[in-house]
Amino acid sequence: MDLLRHLTFFVAVAEERHFGRAAARLGMTQPPLSQGLRRLEARLGTPLFDRGPGGVSPTAAGRDLLPRARALIEDAAALGRAAARHAEAARVLRLGVVADLGPAATARLAVRAAAATGLRVAPTVATTVALVDAVSDGTVDVAVVAHPTVLESARAGPVVALPTEVLLSAGHPAAAGPGPVVLRTLRGTAAATAPRAHAPAAHDLLLDTLDARGCPAGPADAASPAEALALVATGAAFLLTADPGLAGDGVVRRPVAGEPVPYRVRVVHRDGVPDGLVGALADALREGA
């Protein structure tokens, strides 16, 4: 359990006195916020809030622990800022990229970051949750992550919607023709997705979107694009991907019929990262779309 992340949930709900407003402030949906708070209460062994139809209010334990939680969050942020100052002195830009974007996009982002800053770029490919944590604690300067997600103490640039296409086994009935695939024809086939823990809010949004399009797909966990491609090739799943270079034997690529299902990403960064770099990375994402 990420204690600092869950303490951020606690502080937001305590200050907003409302789960919906706290979720909006954190950039997430309400169910994972409520679940996270219950996990924190279980970890601490005491209820933190009284819940009622009019909203929520801290219990006696919640009131006592709130200033301590704020202090821990601020101490962690201060630690991250101090670490960032040391890293900046070393003249290395630490760039994070979510794995689903693929190697070509990662290379394009690294080149653009180097051109915008004049610094040597040290790239890291990881999950959205891991990258947001790394930006928040100062071990990564700037990262491209899936949206929506809890931002913690990270700053964020605009959301960029990347087009996706469907990857299917060549033997799947929906792959018989060359035209766009209607999502409801994939009903009964699992959707290859990163495990929910990698990006909970984005994972839930994708499954909700598929359900709304008549394709209530169960997830088939794939920890990497390579694993997802293997699931597709064997007919175990289909994959919505924003990586135009992802391909393999026995796999066909088709556009999505009707309304697009974009893969939404955004640039998150620590304090002190220039706006010009954030804009350059957002432009690089749009150019690759």
* Per-residue pLDDT tens over the stretch 13-56: 999 998 889 989 888 888 989 899 999 999 999 999 998 877 79
Peptide bond into 103 cis (omega under 30): no
With 0-12 / 13-18 / 19 or more C-beta atoms within 10 angstroms meaning exposed / middle / buried, residue 78 is exposed
Q: Are 206 and 270 in contact (CB under 8 A)?
A: no
**Residue 185's pLDDT band (cuts 50, 70, 90):** very high
> Which residue type is seen at 93?
L
> 245-279, pLDDT tens digit by residue?
999 999 999 999 999 999 999 999 998 898 899 99
Give the separation between CA 75 and CA 205, rounded to whole angstroms: 33
Residue 89 pLDDT:
65
Which neighbouring-strand residues pair with 240? 166
Number of Cβ atoms within 10 Å of the Cβ of 19: 20
- Asked if residue 289 has pLDDT above 80, the reply is no
The overall average pLDDT reported for the chain is 92
Provide the CA 187 distance to its chain's centre, in angstroms: 25
Q: What is the sign, positive or negative, of the torsion defined by CA atoms of 273, 92, 8, 27?
A: positive
CATH numbers and ranges of domains, the chain? 3-82 (1.10.10.10), 91-156+266-287 (3.40.190.10), 164-261 (3.40.190.10)
**Residue 231's pLDDT band (cuts 50, 70, 90):** very high
Structure tokens at 252: 């066909």
Mean pLDDT of 124-139: 95
**Residue 126's pLDDT band (cuts 50, 70, 90):** very high
Between 111 and 86, the more confident residue is 111
Residue 44 pLDDT:
92
Task: Report the greatest alpha carbon distance in the chain.
Answer: 64
**Residue 88's pLDDT band (cuts 50, 70, 90):** low
Q: Are 154 and 269 in contact (CB under 8 A)?
A: yes
- Asked if residue 2 has pLDDT above 70, the reply is yes
> 100-123, pLDDT tens digit by residue?
999 999 999 999 999 999 899 999
**Residue 10's pLDDT band (cuts 50, 70, 90):** very high
- CA-wise closest residue to 100 among 131, 141, 137: 131
Q: Which long-range contacts (CB under 8 A, 24 or more apart) does 57-64 make?
A: 57/17, 58/14, 62/10, 62/14
Q: What is the sign, positive or negative, of the torsion defined by CA atoms of 42, 48, 50, 53?
A: negative
> 49-69, pLDDT tens digit by residue?
998 877 799 999 999 999 999
Indicate whether this model's pTM tops 0.85.
no
